[in-house]
Amino acid sequence: MEDEAVARVKAEETQAMKDDAQRDLNQALPAVEKANEAISRLKKESIGEVRTFTKPPHMVEVVMQAVCIMFEKKKDWPSAKLLLGESDLINQIRNYPKDNIPESVLRDLKPYLQMSNFNYKDILQSSVACASLAEWVIAMDMYAKISKEVEPKRKRVAAAEADLRSVTEQLKKKQLQLQQVESKIKELQESYDHQVAEKKKLEISIMQTQSRLKRASKLTTALADEQIRWKENVTEFNEQMKTVTGNVFVSSACVAYYGAFPSSYRLELVENWVEGCKEHKIPVSDNPSIINVLADAFSIRQWVTQGLPRDDFSTENAILVTKGRRWPLIIDPQEQANRWIKNKEKENALKIIKMTDGHFLRILENCVRIGMPLLLEDVGETLDPALEPILLKQTFMSVCTKE
């Protein structure tokens, strides 16, 4: 208790000395705050106006020399312009280390501060920005002088604080010794319990980690081949993205135009379209294929299982049939396409008719109404005029029924 009383008295004495030193410093703080407020109100435009001077007014140059001294720069106008051009100048001024102003700076400032017209009011006639800067320089000098006068008090406060820390540390040591004696057994027991709990946690963690390692090893082995394939796919897709515009254009043109041509003519058409793309700076592959652009391996495998021949020409024709907007007319002497279409549309209740059938038009109309697929076989060189609206897709919706 006696040690606590001594420490309390020592703390009160130290605080009283700190308050006394702070009161002296507070005499300069209003001027510093006022100057900082003036600096904060400065706009970049005002500083920019000062920077534009080629031959600044005398007092503007004087103020900027003083500011250069504060920042330990050369006292010439080019250096002042560089300083004014710094984007964070206002923040530098507001955060200026006023408690550590070098004696050389204060000494160099003295001739400027002794000028009778080095004040806010007189300099305001030349520049608003420089008037605020001058006010700031004066405030910093005032604060530095008062801070210097207060320095002996600060030292006494520092010594008193050191003495207080020593007394406080001694008190804490004695209190700690008492606590250690009282809690030693409790601490040992808690330490033991903690170590036992940690051991259990580590055992569980080891088991979990071993299990994860086994699963990770299995997964890594399983995905090793997939990783290679994914990397190859990513590389391939990145290359395809570079030419997707031209490839889609060529594929669209193929669907629209080259259905009636044999392979050689189709190849020639594609070569001409590719050449046109390159002439117009459209990125395109050297040998684009509608098979690669408009079909996928899964769809092609399905078509093959449904009876489509495996050659590229047949695959291209299948794409034209499935992707084209017009009804396809298929010349099929070997009936390969016929078998493929029947198998492909079997699940969709495909209707198969001939123009010679007695109920030809009625079946056609029902298919259009219901939306069922229709295969018209044995078409001759001429078509029934009744087919024209269908071929031209001249249909409309009536009471939610397609006619």
Calculate mean pLDDT across residues 48-55.
85
State the residue range of the domain holding 318: 243-344
* CATH number of the domain residue 264 falls in: 1.20.920.20
Say if residue 55 is in the same domain as residue 135. Answer: yes
Which residue is it, tokens 């503007």? 60
Say if residue 30 is in the same domain as residue 154. Answer: yes
Say if residue 353 is in the same domain as residue 335. Answer: no
Helix or strand (DSSP H, E) at 124: helix 120-124
Say if residue 16 is in the same domain as residue 146. Answer: yes
Say if residue 124 is in the same domain as residue 22. Answer: yes
Per-residue pLDDT, 157: 60
CA dihedral 340, 343, 344, 349 (to 10 degrees): 140
Q: Note the pLDDT tens digit of each residue in 139-152.
A: 888 888 777 776 66
Q: State both tokens at 160.
A: 């008193």
Residue 229 within a domain: no
**Structural contact between residues 40 and 94, judged by C-beta atoms closer than 8 angstroms:** yes
Helix or strand (DSSP H, E) at 234: helix 128-242
Q: Note the pLDDT tens digit of each residue in 278-305.
A: 888 888 888 888 888 888 889 989 999 9
Q: Note the pLDDT tens digit of each residue in 167-219.
A: 677 767 777 777 787 788 888 888 888 888 888 898 898 999 888 888 888 88
Calculate mean pLDDT across residues 318-343.
84
Say if residue 104 is in the same domain as residue 19. Answer: yes
Q: How many residues does the chain have?
A: 403
Say if residue 383 is in the same domain as residue 279. Answer: no
**Structural contact between residues 134 and 56, judged by C-beta atoms closer than 8 angstroms:** no
pTM: 0.43
**What are the C-alpha distances in Å from 375 to residues 98, 207, 317, 327, 394?**
95, 66, 16, 10, 19
Residue 80 within a domain: yes
How many domains, in total, are found in the chain?
3
73 falls in which pLDDT band (50, 70, 90)?
Answer: very high
Closest C-alpha among 327, 242, 306 to residue 277: 242
Say if residue 105 is in the same domain as residue 253. Answer: no
